[in-house]
Chain A
């Protein structure tokens, strides 16, 4: 009994010592095993040499002790810049593909692309189930498509495909971490859900709406407003990107 309370005391003191602010835990050596799901529906897929990149969406929320979440606008803004920088750098340095940033989209086109982003995210999230559970194996090689609604944008964007990048990050507050520790002590090892981050990346052909390639990266340790973490996530996300070079090798 004495040990139990001593342990609890230690945990509490440690948590107090580390302060109240939500802290970023950096983990540059992300282990992608078991946390990544990639969708590459066509073996002979050809990724166009020039791709538009949709404005990146990153939402970072704080996970509070009581289980509620709140978006922290400053973190989201910071995360958006970091993810954008890392994706563009990685594509320019490691992939034989030219990425074109979309800067002057009309409100109407923005609204259309927002809807397609939501659709893409839904497909990407569902793809996790399809790829990871044997029950869905029979459809795992099917071509996933968002439909042909983006075709009219092809001429306007001047590219054949579009790259979607969306990130969601739930960062545990110190209160949540304290609650986690307390809950573990009180219940003899029970655990509360903690923060995690998700990065969806995917290339969609504008004419057909087919998803040429898509990757979902989930991490329980990376933060999307941390340079090192995002670099590692982006690297592991694009590992199986079917670049032009790879296509040439296959041919």
Chain B
């Protein structure tokens, strides 16, 4: 009787799997061969492309697209260099978001966050990200992931019928994430080959991940957004270093100055976004790195001081005042520094100094939006100074 029940269950499970599993398309999903072949082939791909168009339409309406045509054209040029046979098929867009992230949609749109662009030192590092994302599109990773999901659901139901209640969830999770990691490894490997073929200095590739790891550590998250389902960053850096070690030619295109020319305006905006989002540790980590601070130009030391002031941990205000004072002596007409110094002095009960700074701010910016608030602080500082 017991044996018969097992047979019954196994057959029912097999049927369930065949039914649910079998409903997913089973034909091969082949990578695109060139730009001419770029179009959705299967029903699943048609749906994915349609969903991608919807996402794009929503993103465009949301006002989140970073409107710098020159920067966009520059990044598009990098993609076209990496994927010359797909010109016009892989399109770069920039999203206004300080989070380090990039993603490729099934229709060939590659979205890169301003935060990620700002975190890169040069074109070669940015090209590492774009080469990786391009492989997701060219090798149809969305379609593969979709099929994997549908298949996993079928197996999970079949396992449930066999009477192992928690196994389906485990199978779903491990298979989806495992498969995703496989795809990510493929994107890394083939992206590296693209980087090399386009003449970039492949030694810059591991640095891309080092920047991401640094930011992740500062934000106290295990991995940055972009790599949340990716292989561990350390392993990834090791993998890239092994590839570079096997190279007979490592030097190549880096383009630090050209990159800096294009992203110089974006960097302070990203810093401001991070400060607004309360990511003080990330700002301090980046701006206390001696190689990175110069990339942020005159705004670097101001935002570093701002991050210290707002984080306000032990010793932070001392660092903040030091940076503000240095900046105020270099650029006495830069109004925000006087306002911030006034705030620090007011907070630390140095009322006379606070009043002086607020007065200076209002002289420089009499019609500032926050002038009413600053006048109130000035009044408070003057009262405090009289009482001292």
Contact A66 B47 (CB under 8 A): no
Known: A5-B5, A5-B12. A179 touches B20 (CB 8 A): yes
Contact A20 B160 (CB under 8 A): no
What is the bound-complex CA distance between A73 and B300, given in angstroms? 48
Contact B23 A174 (CB under 8 A): yes
Which one, B8, B18, B156, B157, contacts A9 given CB within 8 A?
Answer: B8
Which one, A71, A74, A178, A186, contacts B20 given CB within 8 A?
Answer: A178
Which one, B8, B51, B153, B172, contacts A175 given CB within 8 A?
Answer: B153
Contact A73 B46 (CB under 8 A): yes
- B11 closest partner in A (C-beta): A9
CB distance from B14 to the nearest CB of A (A): 10
Could you tell me which residues of chain A, from 5 to 38, have a CB within 8 Å of some CB in chain B? 5, 8-9, 12-13, 15-16, 20
Contact B149 A68 (CB under 8 A): yes
Which residues of the partner chain B approach A13 to less than 8 Å between Cβ atoms? 15
What is the bound-complex CA distance between A13 and B11, given in angstroms? 11
Contact A1 B5 (CB under 8 A): yes
CB distance from B23 to the nearest CB of A (A): 4
Which residues of the partner chain B approach A73 to less than 8 Å between Cβ atoms? 46-47, 50
Contact B20 A175 (CB under 8 A): yes
Contact A8 B150 (CB under 8 A): no
Known: A173-B23, A186-B160. A72 touches B16 (CB 8 A): no
Known: A12-B16, A20-B19, A73-B46. A182 touches B157 (CB 8 A): yes
Q: Write the A149-190 contact mask toward B (1 if CB under 8 angstroms, else 0).
A: 000000000000000000000000111001100100010000
Known: A64-B150, A68-B149. A16 touches B19 (CB 8 A): yes
Considering residues B11, B19, B50, B160, which has the most beta carbons from chain A within 10 angstroms of its beta carbon?
Answer: B19
Tell me whether A65 is interfacial, beta carbon within 8 Å. yes
What is the bound-complex CA distance between A192 and B161, given in angstroms? 16
Tell me whether A70 is interfacial, beta carbon within 8 Å. yes
What is the bound-complex CA distance between A114 and B57, given in angstroms? 12
Tell me whether B54 is interfacial, beta carbon within 8 Å. yes
CB distance from A171 to the nearest CB of B (A): 13
CB distance from B24 to the nearest CB of A (A): 8
- B7 closest partner in A (C-beta): A5
Which residues of the partner chain B approach A175 to less than 8 Å between Cβ atoms? 19-20, 23, 150, 153-154
Contact A5 B8 (CB under 8 A): yes
Which residues of the partner chain B approach A72 to less than 8 Å between Cβ atoms? 47
Which residues of the partner chain A approach B157 to less than 8 Å between Cβ atoms? 65, 178-179, 182
- A111 closest partner in B (C-beta): B61
Tell me whether B222 is interfacial, beta carbon within 8 Å. no
Which residues of the partner chain A approach B67 to less than 8 Å between Cβ atoms? none
Tell me whether B178 is interfacial, beta carbon within 8 Å. no
Known: A9-B12, A66-B149. A174 touches B47 (CB 8 A): no
What is the bound-complex CA distance between A186 and B23, given in angstroms? 21
Tell me whether B297 is interfacial, beta carbon within 8 Å. no
Which residues of the partner chain A approach B18 to less than 8 Å between Cβ atoms? 16
What is the bound-complex CA distance between A72 and B47, given in angstroms? 6
Which residues of the partner chain B approach A114 to less than 8 Å between Cβ atoms? 61
Could you tell me which residues of chain B, from 11 to 38, have a CB within 8 Å of some CB in chain A? 11-12, 15-16, 18-20, 22-23
Give chain A's interface residue range (CB within 8 Å of chain B).
20 to 34
Contact B47 A12 (CB under 8 A): no
Contact A178 B12 (CB under 8 A): no
Contact A71 B50 (CB under 8 A): yes
What is the bound-complex CA distance between A11 and B303, given in angstroms? 66
CB distance from A112 to the nearest CB of B (A): 12
CB distance from B138 to the nearest CB of A (A): 23
Which one, B12, B20, B22, B149, contacts A8 given CB within 8 A?
Answer: B12
Which residues of the partner chain A approach B23 to less than 8 Å between Cβ atoms? 20, 65, 173-175
Contact B149 A16 (CB under 8 A): no
Which residues of the partner chain A approach B16 to less than 8 Å between Cβ atoms? 12, 178, 182
What is the bound-complex CA distance between A8 and B200, given in angstroms? 60
CB distance from B333 to the nearest CB of A (A): 41
Q: Write the A224-237 contact mask toward B (1 if CB under 8 angstroms, else 0).
A: 00000000000000
Could you tell me which residues of chain B, from 144 to 177, have a CB within 8 Å of some CB in chain A? 149-150, 152-154, 156-157, 160-161, 172
Contact A65 B149 (CB under 8 A): no
Contact B160 A174 (CB under 8 A): no
Which residues of the partner chain B approach A12 to less than 8 Å between Cβ atoms? 12, 15-16, 19
- A67 closest partner in B (C-beta): B153
Considering residues B150, B156, B160, B172, which has the most beta carbons from chain A within 10 angstroms of its beta carbon?
Answer: B150
CB distance from B360 to the nearest CB of A (A): 44
Contact B154 A71 (CB under 8 A): no
Contact A15 B51 (CB under 8 A): no
Which residues of the partner chain B approach A20 to less than 8 Å between Cβ atoms? 19, 22-23
- B24 closest partner in A (C-beta): A175
- A76 closest partner in B (C-beta): B50
Q: Write the A86-117 contact mask toward B (1 if CB under 8 angstroms, else 0).
A: 00000000000000000000000001001000
Considering residues B8, B12, B20, which has the most beta carbons from chain A within 10 angstroms of its beta carbon?
Answer: B20
B interface list, Cβ under 8 A from A = 5, 8-9, 11-12, 15-16, 18-20, 22-23, 46-47, 50-51, 54, 61, 149-150, 152-154, 156-157, 160-161, 172
Minimum-distance CB pairs A-B, first 3: A66-B153, A20-B23, A73-B50
Query: 25 A-B pairs, CB-CB below 8 angstroms?
Result: A5-B5, A5-B8, A5-B9, A5-B12, A9-B8, A9-B12, A12-B19, A16-B15, A20-B23, A65-B153, A65-B157, A66-B153, A70-B47, A71-B51, A111-B61, A174-B19, A175-B19, A175-B153, A178-B16, A178-B20, A178-B157, A182-B16, A182-B160, A182-B161, A186-B161
Given A16-B15, A175-B150, A178-B157, 5 more pairs with CB closer than 8 A = A16-B19, A65-B154, A66-B172, A182-B160, A182-B161
